[in-house]
Structure 1
């Protein structure tokens, strides 16, 4: 017996700004199916999700959101003529769209560390109650969302202060409050620690059990148990469609070794890394907002050429610890910190500090201006600005192109960030961190949004960089297999305190 069709595209075309992303597209979602979209970065996963959400037009061929007609006949949705199928679809993008309390401005990068400005952000409770006015035909009320998404302890917290994992839980909760028939998730497990990923699997099972159908983009090695079907994409086409069992058998036979040829040497010849015997020293480090202690009694020292990993659960204090080093947290100046052999607050400017640090983080990705070109974004690393606010300098061109080529993004130099795949944006910010030859490189979840081959490429580049130079490294990841082999020291945080401090 034929299973009920919920959404169907036949010979469809998806395009954006006169660029054809998909053509001759056939894709069908049926009752009881949960889909994962996999494929190399730039293969079209996000574009397909946006088309299913109604954010990109589907032209040519034919398509239908059959689930909407079914719900209309049942009488379970409003009879308002302005209520369309799009009202029954929730899409969670890789970038959040939070605004301040007056809804006049989006957030800026350092805002989460400035207590006065952070107060201009709504709390988790305020956002949930604002969204929770939708009819709960799938049973998702504010109370249910708070319990299932484990938001109880976050209700009074400003959204700008949430960790990466906490933000994702909130975004899923907000999406569920729309009680959508179709929930679309773009790489939802990126940046989540091991326990939170387990929690996501449990949450996903609850969502599906409530009657909501789910389509998500994922890395091929991260398929939750609830996934029933997988579509592999390549160059704007669905290459294969398989059940979970068929996909597992194929992947067991597939070779996954990467053969990327790095162009690192040509970039290294164009400049040199400054060297300092002492890189970072923090004594009795502490960060506190009101009664809430974020970091407590941190004692940590990094010498020249040491390569450290920082790990810990979402909200453990990793990003806050890094913000003390980069100077983005105002409380850095209330702590006893030495950088590059000089005590912080002894007369150096924030720009003198940043000049010696190359930095990448998921938060930086969130707030980087999308109208900037890829080359301009890389060049901004020479001036430590989030975006390029001066005329590009011709003398920098060969240096910028060399570091971009080392990361495999040289062909995208003139494209705007909003026009390229998420993976290219991520690689652009890594190039931005490297372009000034920093003696300290801080990579916070650098492989988020990258496919397995690109992740191997980044690991290889970092290992080669560490082999040829005395660069010091801080590397943050929730995935042990993403950490380069050159990382040989480990710091583990738990609830703001150091619990492990060892060689690996």
Structure 2
């Protein structure tokens, strides 16, 4: 059971002359599921709101509703400021609507290739020929349709603030997770919207970028753009004026920020793991003994004139647990792609994987069978039409989706992992319809179903609340205590690192520091 403690908050009065949005007794439906009932909320010009609450409380759905991506089942919704703005500036354009005055930065990007015939695929960023079928950062930003041409956020201002200037000639597909997040923020600002919606904008940003974010929010608010952002209770920027607490599809608290005490917002209790069941699942297949899990000697990767990795030497022995750290764009994802079989330049370097030199006859799929992999970029390309159970079962074949008839034994094992992780109720739900926290845990289960010798976790806790993060860390530590699993763990947050970490590798500009 979860218990919450809150502070009392004062009643909020509405200034009708600056009213942007007003929801009265609104019920919100998302993917045929009723998420909110009898919601009341209003936003005035000059207000900036933080939405806080546990994973699955409805924060992302509420932002989607404002953006027009979720439907109103009943209730009353008013947009007086937007309607007035359209009347004054865009009444001659019948296609112009309020949603063009709102921009949203969500968890997934929507980049397309140059021919606009299909989405990018995961390995495309590592294949030089295919990666050229993508806009550069500069071209992409130049193509954005600006809502308010006289607004303060020009391409130059946005790229300088978000430190994208050195990336302007880089293809979109080659950006790291953190660089992509900064680009999405820049693209949203260049439109100069009336309202900016941010869904956990700090996810994927390194320490330096997170420190700059507070100042960025201040600059955005002073430029006249109103902000609503979903964020952890402990990471509310100073310029936020109001806080709304969400719980199980209800907005249970609305108050001014100075009245909200993050220390009073917490969960009580821990999610327990059935250790006997975990032992049985981990012992279902015999473990293989290796001497060298990863061996790299003077590994260098270059794309054109850009040096991505420069003289990397790295030895990972069986049973070692490594933290891999570095700033956004330091080369972490490229380093991991050499291990996971996704980067063809691995064959041009001296690399040993599971005691075998790279290129000695093993196939990519033979390598992948020994590796469990979780990453935000990986999830970006996963087909959203799969059920959670199918996503997990696809881990047996290392495919993005289930492309063979489901096997009874594999499905049963996948469901056992879901039960162990307390997510079995979502087995038949589409992965796109479940909370981000459930999506992340499904990806962990997908990585573990085949009992890999090496587990690579690239920012696995993005989107998880504190309770789920603790569950995740405890599970990893328990698995490490029961097996000789080798681990590579990537995170910008020191507090997310499992206690079982024994070694550390830090990259800076492609070099080991």
Alignment TM-score > 0.5, same fold: yes
The residue that corresponds to 2:163 in the other structure is 150
Q: Helix, strand or coil: the match of 1:90?
A: strand
The residue that corresponds to 1:268 in the other structure is 279
Q: Which residue, 464, 474, 480 being the options, matches 1:466?
A: 480
CA distance, structure 2, for counterparts of residue 489 and residue 106 of structure 1: 37
- Is 1:113 the equivalent of 2:126? yes
Q: Encode CA deviations 1:238-296: one digit per residue, 9 max, x unaligned.
A: 12112222212xx3245556411113431431414333222111110111001100001
Q: Residues 61-460 of structure 1 correspond to what in structure 2 (within 5 A)? A: 61-72=75-86, 75-77=88-90, 79-248=92-261, 251-254=262-265, 256=267, 258-270=269-281, 271-272=284-285, 273-460=287-474
CA RMSD, Structure 1 to Structure 2 (Å): 1.5
Q: Helix, strand or coil: the match of 2:179?
A: helix
* Contact 1:36-1:231 at 8 Å conserved across structures: yes
* Contact 2:274-2:420 at 8 Å conserved across structures: yes
The residue that corresponds to 2:5 in the other structure is none
Aligned length: 496
Q: Helix, strand or coil: the match of 1:150?
A: coil
CA distance, structure 2, for counterparts of residue 14 and residue 254 of structure 1: 25
CA distance, structure 2, for counterparts of residue 121 and residue 388 of structure 1: 27
Measured at CA, do residues 133 and 485 of structure 1 come closer, stay the same or move farther in structure 2, by a change above 3 Å?
Answer: same
Q: Helix, strand or coil: the match of 2:260?
A: helix
CA distance, structure 1, for counterparts of residue 14 and residue 79 of structure 2: 17
Q: Helix, strand or coil: the match of 1:6?
A: strand
Instruction: Give the unaligned 5+ runs of structure 1.
Output: 500-504
Q: Helix, strand or coil: the match of 2:307?
A: strand
CA distance, structure 1, for counterparts of residue 416 and residue 313 of structure 2: 38
Q: Encode CA deviations 1:55-109: one digit per residue, 9 max, x unaligned.
A: 1122422111122134246x34463132111110111121001000011110001
Q: Helix, strand or coil: the match of 2:297?
A: strand
Q: Helix, strand or coil: the match of 1:285?
A: strand
* Contact 1:337-1:343 at 8 Å conserved across structures: yes
The residue that corresponds to 1:53 in the other structure is 67
Measured at CA, do residues 236 and 283 of structure 1 come closer, stay the same or move farther in structure 2, by a change above 3 Å?
Answer: same
* Contact 1:267-1:399 at 8 Å conserved across structures: no
The residue that corresponds to 1:484 in the other structure is 498
CA distance, structure 2, for counterparts of residue 267 and residue 252 of structure 1: 34
State the shift of 1:148 in Å: 2.4
The residue that corresponds to 1:502 in the other structure is none
Q: Encode CA deviations 1:428-478: one digit per residue, 9 max, x unaligned.
A: 111100111001000000001111100000000001111111101000000
Q: Which residue, 9, 14, 22 being the options, matches 2:28?
A: 14
User: How does the TM-score come out when normalised to structure 2?
Assistant: 0.94
State the shift of 1:142 in Å: 2.3
The residue that corresponds to 1:496 in the other structure is 510
User: How does the TM-score come out when normalised to structure 1?
Assistant: 0.95
